[in-house]
């Protein structure tokens, strides 16, 4: 590989054509707020809607276009709010509907759109429908809303061999529930399906009543002014009618385990053709409202061409690009993923939607500092620990690369501060159901959900007025607080602010992309041009030179005598 001579124009291979300005979601940068951990308004140690509203100025100053709120609905909180008991109300833990309205109004004042989470695959077992189903008994219409089935071996064993994504069996027998005696269910030997925790029974989407209910939920929040919905487990709503055995397993976000990656298209519980009919219905509901509303798919499907099916013109608007999130830190692998992403998304006229972190995965400032190998579902104190300096250096480089890619991008709260995973959280404090259902083998997701640090010298790092935090913050968070980084030109926060400002100024989200031919095939350097901006990431083992005639305008780390160090991304423009 040789450095191109920029005395001549860079030779490039086009991958993606520029897209004229269109709907807001095509190029938006969207910031995920996990309400428990963003900011606490009332001092109980738990984040809430009032706390979020108070801190929305931070998002406006950061330069994002919208926020996505993880669930804040009424819930027993068995799975951090993804076990919904009432889709049309706010859990008192987070406030009230009036607090939501105030949040949305303040966001509008600041020019921020609001997306809310929707959890349509399952409800809480405390939802009125499921409580009615338990009491109504086998064969009742109430049970038809869920996937109740007779067991095998006279009811002694589950109806099939499916396993829960959180670990353990995907079925619970009614009379084996802890509340069976209290509810008079002794002797009720039917089983119900839960692809996640036993407290999250799956709905039966073959029933029109379920369709009608969720359409009404959409309208409830659209009437309150939301701009769209992030759809949880979007690929999981429809199951094969006979619920056949399946001898594979699926893990969070990273897709299927081992050889099962080749079996995803055969899974009887995921990515069934019927899910697309549901999203065509929902697309029509959104079309009833003025403005450009959006549906965002959380769909763990392989290959990328299957993921693109969710964003065909009459279905959803975006789908998280989890293959990009899970691609190794290798230029050739990233180039392949990015190229294929543009190929399949452009074919259906949808934007690529890039993401590096969220509430379900190890934060990328830690993930990229781990030894090569399988990615863990959480990190415990006795596990191999991330190299903090390496992880942050690569995370900054990865983020600068991502924010230059045409399309939409998602940020997870705290990544703009370079927050690492809390990898030494005491096991006694863990709350993720994965921790319990795997027999304390998988740490789970608590480490990426720790309350944010706002003020370095305040109790609880300024998370709330009393200093209380529902999970403890690691000592490393103090130096990473918002007030400690603001105004520091070398900080991760200021890097994000500068990148988002330049991205908006140069309309990078709507731009074209072409690979720089001199680096194609390299596993060390990823280089592309978006309009006239050169974006170069060094993933190798030695510093590389920028092409002659280019000057850096933004870098993820300091240059070395004009050369790009290892694990560094540069945005550069032709010299005048």
Q: What is residue 169's DSSP assignment?
A: B
Please say if 232 is a catalytic residue. yes
- C-alpha dihedral (204, 209, 214, 216), degrees to nearest 10: 180
Coil, helix or strand at residue 171: strand
Q: What angle do CA 449, 450, 456 make, to 5 degrees?
A: 145
Coil, helix or strand at residue 478: helix
CB 572 within 8 A of CB 552: yes
Question: If residue 148 lies in a helix (H) or strand (E), which one and from where to where?
Answer: strand 148-149
Active-site residue identified among 117, 232, 416, 442:
232
Give the C-alpha distances (Å, rounded to integers) separating 81 from 9, 28, 70, 90, 575: 53, 26, 8, 11, 51
- Pairing mode of beta strands 66-69, 29-33: parallel
Strands, E assignment, 276-412: 294-297, 318-319, 353-355, 408-412
Give the C-alpha distances (Å, rounded to integers) separating 554 from 10, 251, 550, 569: 20, 37, 12, 8
Strands, E assignment, 49-106: 66-69, 73-74, 86-90
Is the sign of the CA dihedral 515, 519, 521, 523 positive or negative?
negative
Buried/exposed 444-459: b ≥16 CB within 10 Å, e otherwise: bbbbbbbbbbbebebe
Please say if 517 is a catalytic residue. no
Q: Maximum Cα–Cα distance for the chain, whole Å?
A: 82
The pair phi, psi for residue 144, each rounded to 5°, is -65, -20
Rounded distance, CA 501 to CA 480, Å? 21
How large is the angle between the packed helices 492-505 and 388-404, nearest 10 degrees?
A: 10
Which residues have a catalytic role annotated?
Answer: 232, 288
């Amino acid at each position: 590989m040789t450095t191109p001579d920029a005395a001549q124009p860079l030779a490039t291979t086009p991958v993606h054509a520029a897209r004229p300005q269109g709907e807001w979601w095509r190029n938006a940068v969207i910031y995920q707020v996990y309400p428990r951990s963003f900011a606490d308004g009332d001092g109980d140690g738990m984040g809430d809607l009032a706390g979020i509203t108070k801190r929305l100025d931070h998002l406006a100053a950061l330069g994002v276009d919208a926020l996505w709120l993880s669930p804040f609905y009424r819930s027993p909180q068995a799975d951090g709010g993804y076990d919904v008991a009432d889709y049309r109300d706010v859990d008192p833990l987070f406030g009230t509907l009036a607090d939501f309205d105030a949040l949305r109004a303040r966001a509008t004042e600041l020019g921020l759109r609001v997306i809310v989470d929707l959890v349509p695959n399952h409800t809480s077992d405390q939802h009125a429908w499921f409580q009615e189903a338990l009491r109504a008994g086998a064969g009742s219409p109430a049970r038809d809303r869920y996937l109740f089935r007779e067991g095998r071996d006279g009811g002694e064993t589950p109806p099939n061999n499916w396993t829960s994504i959180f670990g353990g069996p995907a079925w619970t027998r009614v009379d084996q529930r802890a509340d069976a005696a209290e509810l008079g269910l002794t002797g009720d030997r039917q089983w119900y399906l839960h692809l996640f925790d036993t407290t999250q029974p799956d709905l039966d989407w073959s029933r029109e009543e379920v369709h009608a209910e969720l359409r009404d939920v959409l309208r409830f929040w659209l009437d309150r002014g939301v701009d769209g919905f992030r759809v949880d487990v979007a690929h999981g709503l429809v199951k094969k009618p006979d619920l056949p055995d399946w001898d594979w397993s699926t893990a969070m976000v990273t897709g299927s385990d081992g050889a099962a990656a080749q079996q995803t298209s055969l899974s009887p519980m995921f990515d069934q053709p019927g899910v697309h009919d549901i999203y065509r219905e929902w697309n029509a509901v959104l079309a009833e409202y003025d403005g450009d509303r959006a549906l965002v798919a959380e769909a763990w499907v392989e290959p990328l061409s299957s993921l693109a099916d969710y964003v065909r013109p009459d279905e959803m608007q975006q789908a998280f690009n989890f293959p990009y999130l899970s691609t190794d830190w290798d230029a050739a692998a990233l180039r392949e993923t990015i190229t294929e992403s543009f190929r399949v998304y452009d074919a259906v006229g949808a934007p690529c939607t890039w993401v590096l972190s969220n509430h379900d995965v190890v934060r990328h400032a830690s993930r990229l500092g781990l030894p090569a190998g399988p990615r863990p579902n959480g990190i415990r104190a006795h596990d191999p620990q991330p190299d903090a300096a390496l992880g942050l250096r690569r995370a900054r480089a990865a983020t600068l690369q991502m924010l230059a890619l045409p399309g939409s991008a998602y940020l997870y709260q705290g990544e703009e501060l370079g927050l690492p995973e809390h990898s030494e959280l005491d096991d006694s404090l863990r709350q993720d159901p994965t921790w319990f259902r795997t027999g304390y083998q998988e740490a789970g997701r608590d480490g990426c959900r720790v309350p944010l640090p706002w003020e370095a010298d305040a109790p609880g790092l300024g998370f709330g007025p009393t200093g209380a935090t529902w999970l403890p913050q690691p000592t490393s968070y103090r130096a990473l607080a918002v007030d400690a980084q603001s105004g520091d030109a070398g900080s991760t926060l200021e890097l994000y602010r500068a990148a988002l400002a330049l991205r908006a100024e140069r309309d990078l989200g709507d731009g074209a992309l072409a690979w720089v031919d001199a680096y194609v095939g390299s596993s060390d350097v990823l280089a592309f041009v978006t309009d006239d901006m050169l974006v170069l990431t060094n993933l190798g083992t030695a510093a590389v030179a920028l092409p002659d005639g280019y000057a850096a305008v933004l870098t993820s780390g300091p240059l070395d005598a004009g050369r790009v160090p290892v694990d560094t991304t540069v945005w550069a423009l032709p010299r005048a």
